[in-house]
A and B are shown apart, each in its own frame.
Chain A
Amino acid sequence: MNQISIRRALVAAALLGSVAVAPLALAQEFDANATIRIGSLYEPQNLDNTAGAGQGINEAFNGNVYEALFQLTDAGAVEPKLVDSYSASEDGLTYTFKLKPGVTFHSGDPLTAADVKYSIERVTAEASKSSRKKSLSTITGIETPDDSTVVITLSARSISLPYNLSYVWIVNDKATDITASEDGTGPYTLGEWRRGSALALNRNDKYWGSAPSNGEVIYTYFTDATALNNALLTNAVDVITSVQSPDSLAQFSGNPAYTVTEGASTTKELLAWNDRVAPFDNVKVRKALAKATDKAKLLNSIWGDYGTLIGSFVPPTDPWYVDLTGVDAYDVDAAKALLAEAGYPDGFEFTLDTPDYDPHPIVAQFLQAEYAKVGVKVNINIITANEWYEKIYKAHDFQATLQEHVNHRDIVFYGNPDFYWGYNNPEVVKLIADSEAAATVDEQAAQLTEANKLIAEDAASNWLYLYPQIVVSAANVTGYPVNGLNSQFFAYGIQKAK
């Protein structure tokens, strides 16, 4: 494989970055020592992302306290962070990374190759609860020929290696107790932390990169969405990372004191049928019900003007997105005809296992009403999240279910016939497996785009809509991320007007 030189790209990115930020800085004087208060519903349970800390720790720490070899930017691009340059061997099985010089941890120790090896092994370790563990399982060896070089060998080609490494925090190998303290390389250090309440990040004045646009960041945690909105209304917080209740938006939209931004989300609301069992093993039945779903009406009734319609499992921020909303567009007559063709002219009856939390019960009722129009009777069975996990995810004992899938780049689930929804198309399985072994990202994207089209044609599931990702802030605060990919919330660019 060709050598990949990324220095030039880096310089270009840096230039672009400064151009983009400059007008903001000119437009309004900002307070370089401001305290930014971020309101969130996702409190980390501990401070270690390999120890079941939850999505909150990514929100607070990714890119802020800890950095990785690569960074998944808010726009969805994978860019080098602690890596200066890297290359891959011809067969794609050996990657050589050169680390950025002059990087130090908050404790003062310099970043070395040994830290990188330690950090990757922390994620792949037996006891690790990292969600990325499986995607790094192709790593067979990590060598550190010198302090600034890391050589990773793989058992199979893995075009997503840089992307997967963006989830791996680089932690000082001498750090102890990182469930309650930290030693990262990021622009902030951990300040006070009060469980159940708030977590403060202080500006790291010895940061190797450019300094943050603020002096301190306080993540304040809420368990109640109304209490969180009240905090913004009373200026107790400056920005809310993700608004989860559509009703509360009315308080902020149209009010000049607040800015409401809709970014791109990766959270998909899904009607997953069990493709192994009748009648959903019949592609005509699946397509018929997909056509019988007025998704625009559903999305509007739940989120008003927010959110996006999708024709498959792939959100627009994934590189293999194509607009497939037209594949099984809403058409009741066509749905009836397809059902008759499939041998169900009088419809049928099925049980929809519905998780007991929002928005699933409302979605289930909507589908019940929609499918009655084509003669299909839906029996709603409300279950808890734990039952869902046991009955559906593990035992595959269901006809159809509702679920939200939050991950970025998760079309790969359709390449696994043992996944809970039991979709098995050998062509898709092969495309998805081959895409990981692709020689270039373009090749990978082409293969996954093809797989994406196939799952849409097969109506492998009924992809109802993409949740909106809504950030609301006080009007004097700017520069925050709006997409929140992988739950990240980079705080270093946030500016508060003087």
Chain B
Amino acid sequence: MLFVLLRLLPGDPANALLGVGATEAQIAAARTQVGSDQPLLTQFVSFVGNLARFDLGTSFVSKASVLGEIGNRLSVTVPLTILGFLLAIVIALPLGIIAAVKADRWYGAAISIVSQLGIAIPVFWLGILIVTIFAINLRLFPSGGFPLKGWTSFGEAAIALALPVLTVALVIAASLLRYVRSATQDVIGSDYIRTARALGSGFTEALVRHGVRNGAVPVISILGIELATTFLGAVVVEKVFALPGLGSMLLLAIQQRDYPNVQGVLFISTLLVLLIGFAADLLQRFIDPRLRGRAGAP
């Protein structure tokens, strides 16, 4: 489907490659080279054949192997997404629980308000704000870029990711916090907490022993979706911080009508999103025994 949609876009990749000033003969030559003169079906068959062999082809524009380039980009995007995500959990989990449990206190309400604000702020704006504060004014971190040698210069790479990770984390934390809060509220009002307390558990103990486990199930499915969204949404953060990630590769490839690159990135992203969903499912079954039997039940 991706394949057909891409080809429906107006504009010939050959034109995009050559730019203004090309002759008809040059355009025809470029078409032959990128294969856009072939019937759509022929293009599709060769695309699927190569996919089966995990050969994503070579870029029209850079002439480099698509898979190799994606690997390079993932070494930025994956750590950015995962670290941002973990940091978001670290922020959102305790704050969300506090916001639910202490909803009647001023700080409980304050947390809810700030998270609402966090959801409303556009990512790029938050990124620019963070750059202005931590890079330009305080000079604590670089404003953008990634070291030339990548993770070989580990310290530099880690520092380069600090502000982007913070940006990603704050954005996810804001929305995650609301889910944690409502899941906790549901749990607090549930029968089993009341029962546990009746059996002599303190409120905190009941919440930790029974509540977290029950509340985690809906939160994990949300987490799965959030992680996938973050992975795809990292493009904005990558642009603000000039990071050579998967998102910026996709953006450029679309602008240049570089179909092999676009297809490759979308294929790998889809694969990763499916994997994340699968992992979230597994995790839920592990936490909630009731879900385990369901698949095999008549």
Contact = CB atoms under 8 A, between A and B. Distances in A.
Contacts of A386: 10-11, 15-16
A236 B144 contact: yes
B136 A233 contact: yes
Contact of B149 (A48, A127, A192, A390): A192
Interface residues of B, number: 47
Contact of B248 (A126, A191, A223, A389): A223
B131 A224 contact: no
A180 B69 CA distance: 12
B73 A196 contact: yes
Interface string B207-228: 0000000000000000000000
Given A195-B244, A220-B145, A226 B128 contact: yes
A131 interface: yes
A393 to B, nearest CB: 6
A208 interface: no
Given A222-B144, A224-B239, A195 B69 contact: yes
Interface in B1-18: 10-11, 15-18
Contacts of B30: 129
Nearest to A407: B21
A180 B240 contact: no
B242 A223 contact: yes
B241 interface: yes
A224 B242 CA distance: 7
B63 A179 contact: yes
Contacts of A230: 131, 135-136, 143-144
Contact of A198 (B15, B26, B128, B145): B145
A329 to B, nearest CB: 31
B62 interface: yes
Nearest to A198: B148
Nearest to B65: A180
A96 interface: no
B142 interface: yes
Nearest to B251: A223
Contacts of B240: 224, 227
Contacts of B16: 386
B298 to A, nearest CB: 53
B62 A46 contact: yes
Nearest to A236: B142
B72 interface: yes
B61 A234 contact: no
Given A51-B63, A194-B146, A236-B144, A389 B20 contact: yes
B64 A46 contact: yes
B133 to A, nearest CB: 12
Interface in A267-300: none
A194 B17 CA distance: 21
Contacts of B26: 129, 133
Nearest to A233: B136
A230 B245 CA distance: 19
Given A129-B30, A200-B148, A234-B136, A227 B63 contact: no
B291 interface: no
A194 B21 contact: no
B282 interface: no
Nearest to B245: A196
Interface residues of A, number: 40
A424 interface: no
A231 interface: yes
A234 B133 CA distance: 12
A234 B69 contact: no
A243 interface: no
A410 B63 CA distance: 30
Interface string A161-196: 000000000000000000110000000000110111
B108 interface: no
A174 to B, nearest CB: 19
Contacts of A131: 21
A197 B143 contact: no
A45 interface: yes
A52 interface: yes
B138 to A, nearest CB: 10
Contact of A234 (B20, B63, B142, B245): B142
A218 interface: yes
B150 interface: yes
A45 B148 contact: no
Interface string A114-134: 000000000000110101011
B64 A195 contact: yes
Interface in B22-77: 22-23, 26, 29-30, 33, 61-64, 69, 72-73
A40 to B, nearest CB: 11
B285 interface: no
Contacts of A191: 148
Contact of A393 (B20, B61, B62, B256): B20
Contact of A196 (B10, B244, B256): B244
A231 B63 contact: no
A386 B242 CA distance: 26
Interface in A93-149: 126-127, 129, 131, 133-134
Nearest to B142: A236
A126 B73 CA distance: 33
A104 to B, nearest CB: 27
B232 interface: no
Contacts of B249: 195-196
A197 B75 CA distance: 13
A56 B63 CA distance: 16
B102 interface: no
Contacts of A233: 136, 143
Interface in B111-165: 128, 131, 135-136, 139, 142-146, 148-150
Nearest to A127: B29
Contacts of A200: 148
28 contacts: A45-B61, A45-B62, A45-B256, A46-B62, A48-B63, A51-B63, A52-B17, A52-B19, A127-B29, A179-B63, A180-B64, A191-B148, A192-B149, A195-B72, A197-B148, A197-B242, A197-B243, A198-B148, A223-B248, A230-B136, A230-B144, A231-B143, A233-B136, A233-B143, A236-B142, A236-B145, A387-B10, A393-B20
The 4 closest A-B pairs by CB, nearest first: A196-B244, A197-B244, A230-B143, A179-B63
Interface of A: 45-46, 48, 51-52, 126-127, 129, 131, 133-134, 179-180, 191-192, 194-198, 200, 218, 220-224, 226-228, 230-231, 233-234, 236, 386-387, 389-390, 393
Given A52-B19, A198-B145, 16 more contacts: A46-B63, A51-B63, A129-B17, A129-B30, A192-B148, A194-B72, A194-B146, A194-B244, A195-B62, A196-B252, A222-B144, A224-B242, A226-B128, A227-B143, A230-B135, A390-B15
Interface of B: 10-11, 15-23, 26, 29-30, 33, 61-64, 69, 72-73, 128, 131, 135-136, 139, 142-146, 148-150, 239-245, 248-249, 251-252, 256
